[in-house]
Amino acid sequence: MSEQCFDGHIGALCGACDDGYDFDIGRNRCAQCSSSREMMARAGNLFLLFAIAAAVAVVLYARCRRQIRKLWASAVSFAREGFDSLESQKKEGLQSEVEARSRRRRKLRKSLFTKAKVVIAAWQIAASTETVLLQVRFPPVFAKAMKFFHVLGLAAFEVGSLNCFFRWSYFEKMLFATLAPFVGVAFTAGPYWLVQRYRGKLESEAGRRKVTVRIAYSCAFAIYIILPSVSTSVITYFSCSRFADDGLRRGLRVIASELSIKCTNKRYRQWRIYAGIMIGIWPVGVPLVFATLLWSKRAKLNPPLENYESRRAKDGVDKAEGLQREELRHMKAINQLEKLELRDSDDSLEALAFVFEEYKPRCYLFPIFEITRRIFLTSVLAIFYPGSTRQSVIGMLGAMLACVVYYYYEPFIEDDDNVVSAVAQGELVLIYFAALAVFTAQAVDESRRAFSNLGFGVVLVMIFFTSSLVAIYVILLDVFGYERLFDVYLTCPQTFAKTRNNLRGRLQEFLGPSNAPSTLATTTTYEVGLV
């Protein structure tokens, strides 16, 4: 089947790259690997470019450090004023200004991490459509954007041309993807522990607990990022596609993500045992471990308090139905705030805080749903009818189900986090709907290549960045407030015009009156006349 392929292409439908070749995204084909000397020269050139950029940045900072420091000082004071305006009512109950600042920093860090987790999850799921839905041919601009964002965890171990640098096979890549996280944790947590011990931070019980909490928090964050990538590498191992072959009675079965490997050869059967073990460790074991830890701490995560219904029964006062409904809603909110205060004051939960800290006490098991959703849409979906319309339909139904669940429960503590999450879920539904539309249109009329133009690709890219833009806007609104942001919006055009006029004036001084372009003089005079 490989005899009719271009140079460097092998496997079913010529969908894999031969040894000494690697897939080139820009050319959309397998390109021959460069020699070791040429690759080292390219690396040297890249390093030289970074060095030149760093030198230019240092020179600019040296010449403009006063303006930069002044701008930074104004930005810091601006942010502090925004924080003070938001927290002015809460400062009355605090013991000191230091504690107030510490609480503001913790609140900002928690808000940033929560929104980053929501946005990264949406990016990872959206980027997985390029590798899971192999039958869908997205517009080139969107496909390249998805391949670029694989570095966020979906292809964390595919960065660079591994086929060219290490000559790794598919099985060796899977081995590296599943074992590298353990090695990474050992080589980061171990030295950090030794450094803290050398600095004397482990002598007291409080110091040891603080270091342990930091390591556990960092490990949980790393697992959150790389879990889709590792799960994809082991689950897609069992996703085999069948192709018709005149020489075989039952056709040719190959791995859908690596069309050069047959699912019937001996080496594939040998590595299948290892892939099954890794499935038990990563996509199955990690959610089970988190679920066990959360369930064992359920009395602290969701402290048992007096129910709001029993409180209402104690009052014994008959009220109108609308008033009862409104009172019940407020009682529920107060009940959750009381539980949240008890949960935050429990130091024994700090090591597990990254998993549940953004969720309401009643939704303490919601992280398991989120992890399962990400694994399903980025990995498990690949084994459901690969290459068919049903696979796209299942993906869209999964995204719609998650959207409904998030809309109904509103699991996050902060309302702005629920807003960002709702936008992210809607974004994924639209992307899966676009994938289904693209595949259906291609199947009906492949010659016209519907939905493959630049305009549709730009729309998909805009949808892809919607959640991140909303998250940035919400963070700025939370820090500075609506009035300050509106003032900045009004003053930005004036500041830009003033800066532009200053630059033009300096350019005229540099060129001289005789050498200055007439268009600059005309434009400047026109603007001065307008003022």
DSSP secondary structure letters along 141-189: HHHHHHHHGGGGTTTTT--S-HHHHT---HHHHHHHHHHHHHHHHHHHH
Residue 393 domain-assigned (yes or no): yes
Q: Tell me how far apart the alpha carbons of residues 486 and 266 are, in angstroms, rounded to a whole number.
A: 66
In a domain, 518, yes or no: yes
Residues 418 and 511 in one domain: no
Instruction: Collect all residues with Cβ–Cβ distance below 8 Å to 406 and sequence separation of at least 6.
Output: 418, 421, 422, 425
Specify if 319 maps to a domain: no
pLDDT for the residue numbered 330 = 77
CA separation for the pair 198, 204 (Å, rounded): 13
Q: How far apart are CA 91 and CA 180, in angstroms?
A: 46
Residues 61 and 125 in one domain: no
Contacts of 521 (CB under 8 A, 6+ apart): 508
- CA distances 22 to 32, 260, 310, 489, Å, are 6, 13, 67, 47
Distance CA 255, CA 387 (A): 12
- One domain, residues 135 and 17: no
Spatial distance between the Cα atoms of 319 and 302, rounded to a whole number of angstroms: 30
Q: Which of 423, 451, 467 is the last residue of a domain?
A: 467
- pLDDT-flagged residues of the chain (< 70): 1-4, 6, 8, 11-13, 15, 19-20, 22-29, 31-50, 52-101, 150-167, 244-251, 306-322, 324, 445-450, 485-486, 488-500, 503, 506-531
Q: Which two tokens stand for residue 361?
A: 């006490």
The answer on 1 and 69 residing in a single domain is no
The verdict on residue 351 lying in a domain is: no
Structural domain contains residue 489: no
The CA distance from 505 to 527, in Å, is 13
Asked whether residue 25 falls in the same domain as residue 110, the answer is: no
Are residues 165 and 259 located together in one domain of the fold?
yes
Quick check: is 346 in a domain? no
Residues 5 and 143 in one domain: no
Instruction: State both tokens at 290.
Output: 């988190």
Torsion of CA 398, 401, 402, 403, to 10 degrees: 120
Residues in the chain: 531
Per the confidence metrics, is the pTM higher than 0.85? Answer: no
Q: Quick one: 277 and 383 in the same domain?
A: yes
Are both 386 and 455 inside the same structural domain?
Answer: yes
What confidence score (pLDDT) does residue 525 get?
38
The kind and range of the H/E element at 513 are: none
Buried b (16+ CB within 10 A) or exposed e, 248-263: eeeebbbbbbbbbbbb
Asked whether residue 453 falls in the same domain as residue 502, the answer is no
Of 390, 146, 247, 267, whose CA–CA distance to 255 is shortest?
A: 267
pLDDT recorded at residue 256: 80
Task: Identify the domain containing residue 28 by its residue range.
Answer: 1-33
**According to the model, what pLDDT value does residue 373 have?**
96
Give the count of domains, the chain: 4
151 in any annotated domain:
yes
- CA–CA distance, 14 with 2 (Å, rounded to integer): 6
Burial class (CB in 10 A: 0-12, 13-18, 19+), 516: middle
Residues 26 and 42 in one domain: no
Half-sphere exposure of 152 (CA within 13 A, CB side): 19
Tell me the two tokens of residue 76.
Answer: 């810091």
Answer whether residue 439 is part of any domain: yes
Non-local CB neighbours of 371 within 8 Å, separated by 6+ positions: 227, 286, 287, 290
SS3 514: coil
Measuring CA to CA, which residue among 486, 467, 461 is closest to residue 476?
486
Which pLDDT score, from 0 to 100, does residue 22 have? 65
Query: Is the Cβ–Cβ distance between 352 and 298 less than 8 Å?
Result: no
pLDDT at residue 462, rounded to an integer? 94
Same domain, 113 and 74: no
